[in-house]
């Protein structure tokens, strides 16, 4: 499936290919290359979290790993390695294709290197570690680098930000009735994932016993809110929007794109145990919503809204989310969207 209404590139950039996939008509080499980019993107974004989640899942299953491979120092080293890989990848992209960054190569290199330095500063002893301000600044710097990477990577494959829905012209279209509909649907998907999580938690199998996603476990309210913002943007913009757009240019079927993104989003949540399957279902649902609406930020907004409601127990959280859905639904109905804005 392609992003409806958006012309697809004739082939992968810089590649002349001759072997076609009979199912899609796209070149096998192009498909492999896009999948390599998608897998590489997932690794640099989620490796520290997936590693920790995998170790926690094994612990829930009664399999303990050596502390050297699961401790904070090792996970921090993975995070440093991945963030450095992001910047190196960016620099290689810009060197090969200067047009993939609108700021120019030299300013982009300087800004990205400074952002990496800000993220690494506490580990290098240049800024105090354990400080809330430096922690938040580092996370936001890392988030900016990840978004910059998907912008440049999509540009490399001929996808402008407008084409894959990162932003629109006019910008207010993101929050038009069509955007409100997308946000309602994303929030509703999160609401449906909650009872699925509860149901899976009742089944025999490994299940997390203590909720780790609290302000106390995150280093305070400010850091907790920053992490909620980080996860919403990364999961919807990077892992869902960008990956779905990249796989769409090689015309992968909807079920395949949804399955790939669902698995990519579920693995970093393995610390839930068996209920991580609810995250697979949520990831697949958000993928379908993205392909339906082609708007990224309303999906991230719905995700962030539900994340903010994690202060509440499950039932009040669902009720509060329902009230938000009702309010947004009234906004959606207040203005009839242009039928041309709808995908067939």
Query: What does the pLDDT average to over 289-313?
Result: 85
The Cα 66–Cα 178 span in angstroms is 50
207 bridge partner residues:
273
Unique residue bearing structure tokens 């969207």? 337
| Two structure tokens written together for 138 | 């580092």
Residue 331: the pLDDT is 57
Rounded to an integer, what distance in angstroms lies between the CA atom of residue 107 and that of residue 124?
Answer: 24
- Beta carbons of 207 and 273 less than 8 angstroms apart: yes
* Residue range(s) defining the domain that contains residue 72: 28-341
**Is 323 a member of any domain?**
yes
Burial 136-157 (b: 16+ CB within 10 A, else e): bbbbbbbbbbbbbbbbbbbbbb
pLDDT band at 34, cuts 50/70/90?
Answer: very high
pLDDT single digits (tens) 117-135? 999 998 887 777 677 888 8
Confirm whether 10 is domain-assigned. Answer: no
Number of compact structural domains in the chain: 1
- Residue range 303-315: average pLDDT? 78
Q: Does residue 7 form part of some domain?
A: no
For residue 171, tell me if it sits in a domain. yes
Q: What share of the chain is helix, strand, coil (3-state, %, to 5)?
A: 70, 0, 25
Query: What DSSP element (H or E) covers 46?
Result: helix 28-60
Q: What is the mean pLDDT of residues 308-313?
A: 74
- Winning range, highest mean pLDDT, from 96-110, 213-227, 300-314: 96-110
Q: Across the chain, what does the average pLDDT equal?
A: 83
Distances in Å between the Cα of 152 and the Cα atoms of 47, 101, 165, 172, 337 are 21, 6, 14, 24, 32
- Asked if the model's pLDDT at residue 200 lies above 60, the reply is yes
Residue 25 token pair: 């008509």
Please tell me the predicted confidence (pLDDT) of residue 314: 65
Specify the pLDDT at position 183: 84
Q: Which residue's entry shows tokens 């082609």?
A: 294
Classify residue 308: in a domain, yes or no: yes
Assess if residue 250 is contained within a domain.
yes
**pLDDT band, very low/low/confident/very high, at 110 (cuts 50, 70, 90):** very high
Tens of pLDDT, residue by residue over 49-105, are 999 999 999 999 988 888 888 888 899 999 999 999 999 999 999 999 999 998 999
Residue 172 has pLDDT above 70, yes or no: no
**Range in 25-29, 150-154, 243-247, 259-263 with the lowest mean pLDDT:** 25-29
């Amino acid at each position: 499936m392609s992003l409806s209404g958006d012309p697809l590139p004739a082939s992968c950039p810089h590649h002349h290919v001759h072997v076609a996939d009979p199912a899609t008509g796209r070149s096998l080499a192009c498909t492999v290359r896009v999948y390599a980019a998608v897998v590489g993107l997932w690794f640099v974004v989620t490796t520290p979290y997936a590693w920790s989640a995998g170790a926690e899942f094994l612990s829930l299953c009664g399999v303990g790993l050596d502390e050297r491979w699961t401790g904070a120092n090792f996970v921090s080293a993975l995070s440093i390695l991945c963030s450095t890989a992001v910047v190196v990848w960016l620099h290689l992209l810009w060197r090969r294709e200067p047009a993939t960054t609108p700021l120019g190569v030299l300013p982009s290199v300087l800004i990205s290197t400074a952002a990496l330095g800000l993220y690494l500063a506490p580990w290098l002893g240049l800024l105090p570690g354990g400080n809330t301000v430096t922690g938040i600044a580092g996370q936001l710097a890392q988030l900016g680098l990840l978004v910059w990477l998907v912008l440049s990577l999509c540009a490399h494959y001929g996808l402008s930000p407008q084409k894959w829905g990162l932003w629109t012209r006019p910008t207010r279209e993101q929050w038009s009735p069509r955007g409100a509909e997308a946000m309602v649907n994303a929030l509703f998907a999160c609401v449906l994932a909650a009872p699925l999580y509860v149901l899976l938690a009742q089944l025999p199998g490994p299940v997390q016993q203590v909720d780790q996603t609290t302000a106390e476990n995150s280093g305070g309210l400010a850091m907790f809110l920053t992490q909620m913002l980080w996860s919403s943007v990364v999961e919807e913009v990077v892992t869902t929007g960008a990956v779905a757009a990249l796989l769409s240019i090689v015309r992968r079927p909807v079920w395949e794109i949804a399955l790939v993104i669902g698995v990519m989003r579920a693995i970093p949540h393995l610390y839930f145990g068996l209920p991580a399957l609810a995250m697979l279902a949520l990831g697949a649902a958000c993928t379908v919503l993205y392909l339906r609406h082609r708007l990224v930020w309303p999906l991230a907004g719905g995700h962030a809204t539900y994340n903010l409601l994690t202060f509440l127990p499950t039932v009040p959280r669902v009720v509060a989310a329902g009230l938000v859905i009702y309010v947004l639904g009234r906004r959606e109905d207040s203005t009839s969207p242009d039928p041309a804005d709808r995908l067939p």
